[in-house]
Amino acid sequence: NTVFQGRSLLAEKDFTPEELEYLIDFSIHLKDLKKRGIPHKYLQGKNIALLFEKNSTRTRAAFTTASVDLGAHPEFLGKNDIQLGKKESVEDTARVLGSMFDGIEFRGFSQDVVEGLAKFSGVPVWNGLTDEWHPTQMIADFMTVKENFGKLKGITLTYVGDGRNNMANSLLVTGSMLGVNIHIVAPDSLQPTEEVQKFAAEFAEKSGSKNMITSDVDKGVKGSDVLYTDVWVSMGEEDKFEERINTLKPYQLNMDMVKKTGNENMIIMHCLPAFHGIETEYGKEMFEKYGVREMEITDEAFRSKYARQFEEAENRMHSIKAIMAATAGNLFIPRV
C-alpha cells in the first residue's frame, strides 16, 4: 500500500494498470466491509477539502460519505464560497489548503487547475471531473464491470453518444489500460481527438485490448457486453443542445440498440445524471424548446433488466474510499 501514499489522481495515466486494478479490488473489499458493518477508518483524524466549481450529486455525496466512514472530516467549498478563481490564484489557494487539509478533491472546468492544486498543495489531490477526464468515475465503472462479469480482460464496453467528452476520453484510455475492448460509437464530428485515440492505442497495444472508433451503430454495438452512454450536452456547453440533438439522435441507447448487441447477458451503464424523461424541470424545458422527451437513453432502456446505473452510482462511494484510503490513509490501520 505504501506505493500509493501521497500520490494524486489527476488522470488515469497517473497510475499503472496494475495499480488501477488494485484500487478496483480494494473498492470491492471496502464495499464488503461496509455491507457487513465492519469499521474501516483509514482516514481517522484527517481533514478533506471538497472543491466544486460545477454541480454534483454523486461525486459530492460519495466524497462526503466516504470521508465520514473513513473517519475523516469533509469540508465542502463551493465556487461561491471561496476566493479561488476570483481574488486568489491556484497556487496561493493550494498552499493554504495544503497546510490545513490532508487531501483535496477538485471538480471544475480546467485540467490545469487540478494539476496546479497538486503541484502546490503538497497533499494528494483527486480529480472529481474536469472538461477532459473523470478518473474517480473510472474506478467505480470498472469495479461495476468486474462485479457483473467476474473479470475485465476481454470484456467489450461500447460507449455511444458524445465521443469527445470527459467520459468518452476516460473510458477509452482506462479500458485500454485494463484490457477491456472499448468501442466508441459516435458521429464523425464527435469522435475522440486524434491525440486521445493515439494515447489510448499505446495502452491497448500493451494490454491486448481491441478498440474500435466508428460512426456505424450496427457494427459498433454488435457483441458488446456493456452499452454505456452519457449526456449529449456536458456541463459548461449548454449552448449546444440543438446541434447535439440533431447529430446524436441515431446514437440514442434504446431497446433496439440493446437487441443489436445480440448478447442477452449484456448490461447498460450510465454515469448519471441521465436525460430519460421529462419529469425534471430541465426535461420540461427541453421538451418545450426542442420537442424531445428522451435524449441519450430511453426510459424503457433505463428501467430495463439490463440497467446497472444505480449500482454504478453506489460504487462511486466505495471506490472513492479506496482512492482516498490508498493515497492519504493511515498505514497503521490493518486491513480486516
The entry of ligand CP, ligand NVA, none near residue 231 (CB within 5 to 8 angstroms by kind) is ligand NVA
Which set of grid coordinates corresponds to residue 283?
426535461
Contact between 140 and ligand NVA per CB under 6 A: no
Contact between 130 and ligand NVA per CB under 6 A: no
216 is catalytic: no
Beta-carbon contacts of residue 41 (< 8 Å; ≥ 6 apart) = 69, 70, 71, 330, 333
SS3 177: helix
Which of 53, 46, 195, 196 is CA-nearest to residue 112? 53
How many CB atoms neighbour CB 334 within 10 A?
A: 5
Question: How many residues does this entry show for the chain?
Answer: 336
Q: Distance (Å, rounded) from C-alpha 52 to C-alpha 317?
A: 17
Would you say 83 is a known binding-site residue?
yes
- Contacts with ligand CP by CB under 6 A lie at 56-59, 129, 137, 271-273
Selected from 127, 234, 263, 309, the binder of ligand NVA by CB under 6 A is 234
247 burial type by CB count under 10 A (0-12 exposed, 13-18 middle, 19+ buried): middle
The entry of ligand NVA, ligand CP, none near residue 90 (CB within 5 to 8 angstroms by kind) is none
The entry of ligand NVA, ligand CP, none near residue 211 (CB within 5 to 8 angstroms by kind) is none
Q: Residue with the closest Cβ to ligand NVA?
A: 234
User: Least distance in Å: CB of 172 to ligand CP?
Assistant: 17
User: Least distance in Å: CB of 53 to ligand NVA?
Assistant: 12
Instruction: Give all strands (DSSP E) within 88-238, no chain letters.
Output: 103-107, 125-127, 156-160, 181-185, 212-214, 226-229
User: Least distance in Å: CB of 129 to ligand NVA?
Assistant: 6
Which set of grid coordinates corresponds to residue 100?
490545513
Would you say 99 is a known binding-site residue?
no
Would you say 107 is a known binding-site residue?
yes
Going 194 to 196 to 199 to 204, the CA torsion angle's sign is negative
The entry of ligand NVA, ligand CP, none near residue 234 (CB within 5 to 8 angstroms by kind) is ligand NVA
CB 170 within 8 A of CB 133: yes
Contact between 235 and ligand NVA per CB under 6 A: yes
CA atoms within 13 A on the CB side of 56: 28
The entry of ligand NVA, ligand CP, none near residue 190 (CB within 5 to 8 angstroms by kind) is none
Selected from 69, 105, 230, 294, the binder of ligand NVA by CB under 6 A is 230
Q: Which of 40, 102, 137, 276 is catalytic?
A: 137
Residues in contact with ligand NVA by CB under 6 A are: 129, 165-167, 230-231, 234-235, 271
Residues with catalytic function: 107, 134, 137, 230, 271, 316
